[in-house]
Amino acid sequence: MNTSKAQKIGEHFVYQWNNTSEDEHAKLYDENVEFTCSLTQRIINATNGKITGNKTLIAYWELLKKKFPESKMNHIKSSWYNNKIVIQLTIPPFSDNAYGIIELNKENKISQLRISHV
């Protein structure tokens, strides 16, 4: 993996979020994905910001898109660092600057995603 490949994966990740259904976007993820996000903590306090499993993540996205239908990601850049993809993006109306760390499994599916809205 290199920064060029990480950039393409980051762009594809954002494209899928903005242009496909939750079920289609979920195909990028491992069935047992671990998703941690500072926004999730604010929306569903009981999660402590962490959601585990593809099906639970789909339900969360459906809730998020229903509550904030105008929400779209804007990809700024992605890079490869320490065997992870680091993605910088904006997600209006939530934040002007967000950072994500994407870890891929052997099948190149997202096994862990952490997003921080700063």
CATH of the domain at 102: 3.10.450.50
User: Average pLDDT for consecutive 10-residue bins of the chain (118 residues)?
Assistant: 93 94 94 91 78 93 88 94 95 86 96 92
CA distances from 115 to 12, 34, 44, 54, 102 (A): 17, 11, 15, 16, 9
Number of domains the chain is built from: 1
Pinpoint the alpha helices (H) of 20-118. 22-25, 38-43, 54-67
What residue numbers bound the domain in which 72 lies? 3-117
At residue 42, the pLDDT reads: 79
User: Model's pTM, two decimal places?
Assistant: 0.90
At residue 118, the pLDDT reads: 80
